[in-house]
Amino acid sequence: MPKIESSEKLFFSLLGKRMSDDELVDIFPVAKAELDGHDEETIKIELNDTNRPDLWSSAGVARALKTYQSGKIPEYPFFSRKGDEKDSGGRSVIDDESVIGIRDYSIGFAARGCKVTNELLIDLIQSQEKLCSNFGRKRKTIALGIYRSNLIKYPVHYSAVDPDKTKFVPLGMEKELSLREICTEHPKGREYGYIVSDKPLFPYLYDDNNDTLSFPPVINSDRIGAVEVGDEDLFIEISGPILEDLLLTASILSCDMYDMGFEILPCKVHLSKDTKYGRDITVPYYFQDEAECTIDDVEKKLGLKLSADECIKALTRMGVEGRVEGNTIKIKCPPYRNDFLHAVDVIEDIMIGHGLMNFTPVMPSDFTIGRLSKAEEFSRKVKSLMVGLGFQEMIYNYLGSRKEYVERMHVSEENVVFIMNPMSENYEVVRPSVLPSLLESESVSAHAVYPHKIFEIGKTCVKDDSDVSGTVTRNTLGFSVSDNRVGYNEVSSYVNTLMYFLGKEYSLEAVDGDERFIPGRAAYVIYKGVAVGIFGEIHPQVLESWNIEMPTVACEIYIDKILE
């Protein structure tokens, strides 16, 4: 979930008024936001909707709240659309065809008329970060640069260039580096260079004077790309492989900046290839389709009959312009949003706009029969027998280390399910057996009064080629007894008692070659001709590996196999 920090001064000025924390807590849910903290001059906000990047900025949250409270949809007059191009005043970006397959698009727009203050700069950098890292998947699909427009000679060129021959002084450094050098020597290069480093040519942005703007998506130049407090003329550039994501990002940022007091100056973009919007577009560009839902859908989904008028009013509070055509509500998506995939998305906005508190809860009236799973019912029977036999039920984690599940058990790892990307070696194996869990208990419980009689009914997982997944998850009973006099006979008696009361006739077969047990003192439990479990005296070499100084016997039974 994205979290933002907003300067109190900036936030309340965008909102047009001050609000108390209590008022904020009450109103925030309409933007699926939560007040995460408010100290001195900073308001911390957590945003829950990962499909609404327009809300990840002070201006975005303020806009949603202001619109909700005022019922007035803000206007953004600078958007071009197909057949309605705004004046680009000679500003343009030319994407060269060489970027295709490398990083297909770069688009931009300019803004002026508002002196960049410290708070504003921090806020802009934060928006840039949130959009690029969360929405843009750590700059992979969206990278955004802010430049000093007054230093740029348009048109701006976007090309793929030789990474070894192209050099410039990157922001934060003093000497000229080649693009390839930046990838290894500049901190941002080490962080983001991988996105393009395997390409034959690297993306490069420069103006008509051959002055560098940036090496997207990595780093700006130290001159045109070094925006400072006091600047008034800015150029915003966005690059990435998916055009709609870039257009939406440009729209979000232009609306935010407009709300902050900037004048938005459109810019013509000559794309690297033909798109559904054409080859030449003017940015910011309104690209969204209309969405709709029927009034019947609203009632069916929300369980409340709302009039067309009520629906339109609710949508307006959400900043969504709607109109009624017969039984259908058609909406114009706000330029900074692109999350209306389905009628249900429109309906949700109607729900929030109408106010969730206006929907009274009603119990579902269908009659259904409650039922536990067969495995759960059987497990409970087993559990009650184990408790009756004096055992303490344990509950263990299912992830552990190779050391615990393989090495200390003296078993082969052939059938063990490993995690490819473990976070730490402590959690890199899915438990193949309950026995290591029980032995871990023994290894940490020497202080507890003996005898120890413990059990768990839980899941274990091993490789099994007969399943499409190549693995099988088994409901497994494991139990162990540790005491200074304990042996095979005792564990065999428990198995016998358990199976008797479960009504399962079984036979035993000597185990050969299982290093977990003392040879000649372990048996397979055979039920209907199949081995459904194993038990015996734990081998001292295993006990030693676990640092257990008490003789231990243990048993494991795959209860799914005796369930039928």
Write down the least CB distance from residue 461 to another protein, Å: 5
**Shortest Å, Cβ 32 to another protein:** 5
* Contact with another protein (CB under 8 A) among 23, 261, 321, 341: 341
Return the residue of 95, 256, 440, 537 that touches another protein, per CB under 8 A: 440
Nearest distance from residue 465's CB to another protein, in Å? 9
The only residue of 122, 171, 343, 563 in contact with another protein, by rule CB under 8 A: 343
Contact by Cβ (8 Å): 76, 260: no
| 156 near another protein (CB under 8 A) | no
Query: What is the per-residue binding string for another protein in 84-123, x denoting contact by CB under 8 A?
Result: ----------------------------------------
Give whole-number Cα distances, 466 to 420, 469, 514, 524, in Å.
Answer: 22, 8, 23, 22
CB 471 to another protein: min, Å:
5
Answer for the pair 462, 471: CB distance below 8 angstroms, yes or no. yes
Alpha-carbon span 439 to 417, nearest angstrom: 20
Contact stretch for another protein (CB under 8 A) within 142-150, 465-473, 516-524, 537-545? 465-473
Task: Please give the structure tokens belonging to residue 148.
Answer: 């000093």
The nearer residue to another protein, 172 or 470, going by C-beta atoms, is 470
- Residues in a beta bridge with 108: 237
Residue type, 329: I
Cβ closer to another protein: 161 or 394?
394
Q: Is 332 in the site for another protein (CB under 8 A)?
A: no
**Interaction mask 44-63, another protein, x per CB under 8 A:** ----xxxxx-----------
Residue 362 as a binder of another protein (CB under 8 A): the answer is yes
- Comparing CB distances to another protein, the nearer of 18 and 381 is 381
Site for another protein contains 305 (CB under 8 A) = no
Q: Beta strands of 188-327 (E only): which ranges?
A: 202-206, 212-215, 219-220, 233-240, 263-265, 267-275, 278-283, 291-294, 321-325
Q: Are 41 and 3 spatial neighbours (Cβ–Cβ below 8 Å)?
A: no
- The widest CA-to-CA distance across the chain, in whole angstroms, is 93
From the list 114-122, 155-163, 194-202, 382-390, the region that binds another protein by CB under 8 A is: 382-390
**x/- track of binding to another protein for residues 468-487 (CB under 8 A):** xxxxxx--------------
Sign for the CA dihedral angle at 127, 128, 131, 133 comes to negative
422 contributes a contact to another protein by CB under 8 A: yes
Can you spell out the DSSP letters for 315-364?
HHHTT-EEEEETTEEEEEPPTT-----SHHHHHHHHHHHH-GGGS-----
Is residue 399 within the footprint of another protein (CB under 8 A)? yes
Instruction: Select from 63-71, 74-82, 425-433, 532-540 the region that touches another protein (CB under 8 A).
Output: 425-433
Residue 290 sits in the site that holds another protein (CB under 8 A): no
- Number of Cβ within 10 Å of residue 150's Cβ equals 13
Residue 380 as a binder of another protein (CB under 8 A): the answer is yes
The answer to whether residue 3 forms part of the interface with another protein (CB under 8 A) is no
- Burial readout 201-239 (b: 16 or more C-beta within 10 A, e: otherwise): bbbbbbbeeeebbbbbbbbbbbebbebeeebebbbbbbb
List the one residue out of 354, 345, 336 whose CA is nearest residue 59: 336
Binding mask 168-207 for another protein (x = CB under 8 A): ----------------------------------------
Nearer to another protein by C-beta: 210 or 395?
Answer: 395
69 touches another protein (CB under 8 A): no
Among candidate residues 500, 452, 494, the one with its CA nearest the CA of residue 477: 494
Structure tokens at 88: 């680009």
Residue 423 Cβ, how far from another protein at the closest point, in Å?
A: 6
Short-list 420, 418, 421, CA closest to 400 = 418
In the set 344, 381, 497, 520, which binds another protein (CB under 8 A)? Answer: 344
Exposed, middle or buried: residue 39 (CB in 10 Å: 0-12, 13-18, 19+)?
Answer: exposed
Smallest separation (angstroms) from another protein to the CB of 40: 25
- The span of 14-22, 29-37, 38-46, 510-518 binding another protein (CB under 8 A) equals 29-37
Minimum Å distance from CB 395 to another protein?
A: 5
Q: By rule CB under 8 A, what string of x and - marks binding of each residue 250-289 to another protein?
A: ---------------------------------------x
Asked if 159 contacts 272 with a C-beta cutoff of 8 angstroms, the reply is: no
Beta carbon of residue 211, minimum distance to another protein (angstroms, whole number): 34
Q: β-strands 552-558, 530-538: how paired?
A: antiparallel
**Burial class of 32 by CB neighbour count within 10 A (0 to 12, 13 to 18, 19+):** middle
Single-letter code of the amino acid located at 452 = H
Q: Rule CB under 8 A: say whether 357 interacts with another protein.
A: yes
